[in-house]
């Protein structure tokens, strides 16, 4: 089995309506190239830099306008869409990913590790997601799971997703520019693919805030499609038998002697 996926690199703004319109345009372009899964960055529903109190004012529920627009776009193009949502959660908000198809929300992931690093304090505005059992979803026979941006620096997150059966890890991000940050981004994406023998599909914001370099990486860590630092769409076909072949020759999942325990 195989599935064609797309990463869409774009710059979300403080206009929810503009963000929804841009997602619809990019989804149409990706579907026109055969994509069955279309992945957008973190904070696709609403984004400001630096973060401020408008995040809470523009946060939405999972049944709000943003998810409804994703479902409508998914229905028009018969695709599944993954995108980042600022989700309402009381005094603070949640940094949430949703996977949406014509039938509605298929899976939800709330960012577990907040970006309190490199001079940033995401926890001033965001509450961390609970360490729940991973939610997965299937497209064309491949099983997908999600994590967000800074979670990439914690290999245990990817391990829990693979232990839940994932063939593909989807990583929406807003990977902020800085010294060596592009190197960290591309290195960690490849590492998560190699050590877990899975595909990694990562969508980032372009410059000047993000590093860009949205990528689709195979289970041996090879970039099979990608974008530079500007807006754009990259498409690649993922094959289930590629995961099987790599795991037959490199059975690292079976040979691991440690298990992940949350605290």
Question: How many CB atoms are closer than 10 A to CB 133?
Answer: 8
Helix (H, G, I), strand (E, B) or coil at 137: strand
| Per annotation, catalytic residue among 8, 122, 149, 174 | 149
| Per annotation, catalytic residue among 87, 111, 122, 174 | 111
Handedness of CA 125, 91, 158, 258 (dihedral sign): positive
| Per annotation, catalytic residue among 8, 42, 122, 174 | 42
Question: How many CB atoms are closer than 10 A to CB 113?
Answer: 19
Catalytic status, residue 149:
yes
DSSP code of 123?
Answer: G
d(CA 7, CA 234) in angstroms, rounded, equals: 5
List of residues 6+ apart from 37 with CB closer than 8 A: 3, 4, 5, 6, 79, 80, 81, 82, 139, 144, 170, 201
- Just list the catalytic residues: 42, 111, 149
């Amino acid at each position: 089995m195989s599935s064609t996926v797309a990463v869409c690199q774009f710059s979300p703004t403080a206009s929810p309506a503009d963000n929804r319109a841009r997602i619809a345009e990019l989804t149409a372009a990706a579907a026109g190239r055969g994509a069955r899964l279309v992945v957008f960055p973190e904070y696709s529903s609403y984004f400001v830099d630096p973060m401020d109190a408008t995040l809470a004012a523009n946060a939405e529920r999972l049944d709000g306008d943003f998810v409804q627009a994703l479902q409508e776009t998914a229905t028009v193009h018969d695709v599944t869409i993954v995108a980042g949502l600022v989700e309402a959660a009381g005094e603070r908000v949640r940094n949430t990913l949703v996977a949406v198809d014509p039938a509605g929300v298929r899976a939800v992931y709330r960012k577990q590790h907040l970006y309190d690093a490199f001079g940033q304090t995401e926890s001033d505005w965001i509450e961390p997601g609970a360490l729940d059992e991973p939610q997965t979803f299937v497209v064309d026979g491949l099983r997908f799971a999600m994590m967000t941006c800074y979670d990439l620096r914690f290999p245990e997150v990817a391990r829990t997703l693979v232990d839940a059966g994932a063939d593909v890890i989807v990583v929406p991000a807003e990977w902020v520019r800085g010294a060596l940050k592009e190197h960290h981004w591309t290195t960690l994406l490849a590492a998560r693919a190699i050590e877990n023998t899975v595909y990694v599909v990562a969508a980032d914001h372009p410059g000047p805030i993000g590093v860009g370099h949205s990528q689709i990486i195979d289970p041996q860590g090879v970039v099979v499609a990608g974008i530079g630092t500007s807006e754009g769409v990259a498409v690649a076909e993922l094959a289930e038998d590629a995961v099987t072949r790599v795991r037959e020759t490199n059975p690292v999942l079976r040979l691991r002697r440690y298990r992940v325990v949350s605290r």
